[in-house]
Amino acid sequence: MDNLLSRVSYLRGLADGLSLDESKEKRLLLEIIDVLQEMAEAIDDLRAFSEATQEYVESIDEDLGQLEQDFYDSEDDYDEDYEEDFDDDFEDDYDEDFDEEDEYDDLDEDLIEIECPKCHEVIFIDEDLVDEEGKAQCPNCNAEIKVEDND
C-alpha cells in the first residue's frame, strides 16, 4: 500500500514539475491526483482494518478451540458419551406397541370426504360442521354442499 501512496506522490511531483500555468488542464490534473490520493488513503485504511479484523477473528478461533477442548475433552469421547446417554434416556420410553397409523385412524373417524359440486375439490369436512339438514359449506368456494353420510 505504501507503494500506491508513493506513486500518487510521485504523480503530484510530476504535475508540479510540468510548470503549467494556471490553466484548465493543470486544475484537472491536480484534481485527478487529489482523488487518487484520497482513494489510496481509503484503501490503506481498509487494509489496516481488514488486518485488525483478521487478527481478532484468529484470536476468537483460538479461544473457541480451547473452550471446545476443555468442554468436550475430545471428539471421540463426546460422540460415545452422547450416544450412550441418548440410548439410556430414550430406550425405556419407546413403546413398541405404538402404531402410528392407529393414531391417524382415530383422527379420520370424524371427517367426511366429499367432492364439492361447484369447485370439484375433494375436501374433508368434520362431522361437527354439518348442520341438522345435512349441509356444510365448502372451505374453498363457500358453496353449500349436501353431505350424505356413507357410514
Residue 95: which pLDDT band, with cuts at 50, 70 and 90?
low
Indicate whether 150 pLDDT > 50: no
Q: Is 62 exposed, middle or buried (0-12, 13-18, 19+ CB in 10 A)?
A: exposed
- Which residue carries 382415530 as its cell? 106
Q: What is the mean pLDDT of the segment spanning 89-118?
A: 64
Give pLDDT, residue 85. 59
Give pLDDT, residue 133. 86
Give pLDDT, residue 151. 45
- Phi, psi at residue 116, to the nearest 5°? -70, 130
List, for residues 121-142, the tens digit of each pLDDT value. 888 888 877 888 888 888 888 8
Q: How many CB atoms neighbour CB 123 within 10 A?
A: 17
Helix (H, G, I), strand (E, B) or coil at 28: helix
Residue type at 146? K
Q: Which run of H or of E encompasses 3? A: helix 2-17
Helix (H, G, I), strand (E, B) or coil at 94: coil
Give pLDDT, residue 142. 84
The pTM assigned to this predicted structure is 0.41
Give pLDDT, residue 50. 95
List, for residues 29-85, the tens digit of each pLDDT value. 889 999 999 999 999 999 999 999 999 999 999 999 999 998 887 555 555 655 665
Q: What is the mean pLDDT of the segment spanning 136-151?
A: 78
